[in-house]
């Protein structure tokens, strides 16, 4: 599980061009959107592509992403449960 979380943080930094951030600076539980990391709706779409490409999980409705991408914890749990 924690390996997956580190992997997710690395991917988020790379995919979303957050080059000034390090893996250590992203906490597992803090919100990724709004207050926390400050991601926005375009980032959510980027993350949906990442789920599809890297974990074989397809989301049809972008609204589904809101709950899944709440934090690294929720993302990792969702991927563990649904990856193909």
Q: Which residues bind another protein (CB under 8 A)?
A: 15-20, 38, 40-42, 45-46, 48-49, 52-53, 61-62
Rounded to 5°, the CA angle 7-9-11 comes to 70
Whole-number Å distance between alpha carbons of 75 and 5 = 8
Among 23, 34, 27, 43, smallest CA distance to 51 is for 43
**CB nearer to another protein: pick between 29 and 62:** 62
**CB nearer to another protein: pick between 1 and 38:** 38
Shortest gap between Cβ of 1 and another protein (angstroms)?
A: 25
**CB nearer to another protein: pick between 44 and 72:** 44
Shortest gap between Cβ of 54 and another protein (angstroms)?
A: 9
DSSP reduced 3-state for 5: helix
């Amino acid at each position: 599980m924690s390996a997956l979380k580190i992997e997710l943080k690395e991917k988020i930094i790379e995919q979303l061009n957050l080059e000034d951030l390090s893996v250590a600076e992203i906490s597992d539980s803090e919100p990724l959107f709004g207050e926390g990391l400050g991601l926005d709706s375009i980032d959510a779409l980027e993350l949906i592509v990442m789920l599809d490409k890297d974990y074989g999980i397809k989301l049809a409705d972008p609204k589904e992403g809101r709950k899944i991408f709440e934090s690294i914890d929720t993302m990792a749990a969702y991927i563990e449960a649904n990856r193909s």
